[in-house]
């Protein structure tokens, strides 16, 4: 397992409200990768995303065991998100300047021969297998719902004036129901995690082509950030690239 996450403030923002987590090379911690994109005034977004990443990573790292079943893994992910949601929501109620703060969160957890995704908001997880890219997560956004209802096309979601309105975020409500997903892995699968600072600038096929032509996860992540900035860099950009290599083998 080879993984890297990089983040950049972009060309239009003064501060970076994106946060991320990945295990250090050679560590015995779970193969856990997280991207979170905060929102809220007066540093609220930055605080929310930081809390979310810290709470989720701490909970998963302390509760996940090697022999956990699939259902146990899913419950751990769900509980970690719930714990993070409670902390962000409680803090927002105690501080008027942080009221309404929240964050997206997209989690990729590799366990055995499976990939588990925990997801809230419009950050994304993709699977690149052979020469195909597939979005694994569903955007919790107004335009995504409109497209699912047939009121606009998926193509129209990219330029819709309300494309940045999300319908679900961690920390904005007392109760939160995240998407918890499970996928089988194959050798050489590549997972891409990213905030919408990337996907608002690059089409899916462009993401796939850059990843497959860049020589490795670190180079691919940096190239994606560079390309998003070249196309305007309208938001913070965070990109994680994780290559499965031999599924089920020891991590590297």
Q: How far apart are the first and last CA of the chain?
A: 6
Residue 250: the pLDDT is 45
Q: Which residue has tokens 């929102």?
A: 39
Pairing of strands 132-135, 124-129: antiparallel
Residues 174-222: tens digit of each pLDDT: 999 999 999 999 999 999 999 999 999 999 999 999 999 998 999 999 9
CA atoms within 13 A on the CB side of 181: 20
Q: In the chain, what are the domain boundaries?
A: 2-243
* pLDDT over threshold 80, residue 42: no
Contacts of 195 (CB under 8 A, 6+ apart): 18, 35, 37, 104, 123, 235, 236, 237, 238, 239
Q: Which residue has tokens 């290559």?
A: 243
Question: Binning pLDDT at 50, 70 and 90, where does residue 252 land?
Answer: very low
Question: Binning pLDDT at 50, 70 and 90, where does residue 125 land?
Answer: very high
Token readout for 226 is: 């560079």
Q: 23 exposed, middle or buried (CB, 10 Å; 0-12, 13-18, 19+)? A: middle
Q: What is the DSSP letter of 25?
A: T
The architecture of the domain spanning 2-243 is 4-Layer Sandwich (3.60)
Q: What is the pTM of this model?
A: 0.94
Exposure string for 42-75, b = 16+ CB within 10 A, e = fewer: eebbbbbbbbbbbbbbebbbebbeeebeeeebbe
* pLDDT over threshold 70, residue 103: yes
């Amino acid at each position: 397992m080879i993984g890297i996450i990089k983040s950049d403030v972009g060309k239009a923002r003064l501060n970076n409200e994106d946060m991320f987590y990945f295990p250090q090379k050679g560590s015995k911690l779970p193969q856990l990768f997280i991207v979170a994109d905060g929102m809220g005034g007066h540093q609220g977004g930055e605080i929310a995303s930081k809390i979310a990443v810290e709470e989720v990573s701490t909970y998963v790292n302390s509760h996940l065991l090697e022999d956990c079943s699939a259902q146990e893994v899913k419950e751990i992910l769900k509980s970690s998100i719930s714990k993070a949601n409670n902390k962000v929501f409680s803090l927002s109620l105690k501080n008027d300047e942080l009221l309404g703060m929240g964050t997206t969160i997209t989690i990729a957890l590799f366990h055995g021969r499976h990939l588990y995704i925990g997801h809230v908001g419009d950050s994304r997880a993709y699977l690149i297998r052979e020469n195909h890219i597939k979005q694994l997560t569903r955007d919790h956004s107004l335009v995504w719902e409109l497209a699912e209802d047939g009121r606009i096309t998926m193509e129209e979601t990219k330029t819709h004036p309300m494309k940045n309105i999300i319908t679900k975020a961690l920390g904005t409500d007392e109760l939160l129901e995240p998407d918890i997903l499970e996928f089988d892995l194959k050798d050489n699968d590549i997972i891409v995690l990213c905030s919408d600072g990337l996907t608002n600038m690059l089409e899916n096929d462009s993401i796939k082509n850059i990843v497959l032509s860049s020589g490795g996860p670190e180079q691919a992540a940096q190239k994606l950030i560079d390309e998003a900035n070249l196309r305007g860099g309208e938001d913070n950009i965070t990109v994680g690239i994780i290559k499965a290599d031999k599924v089920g083998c020891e991590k590297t």
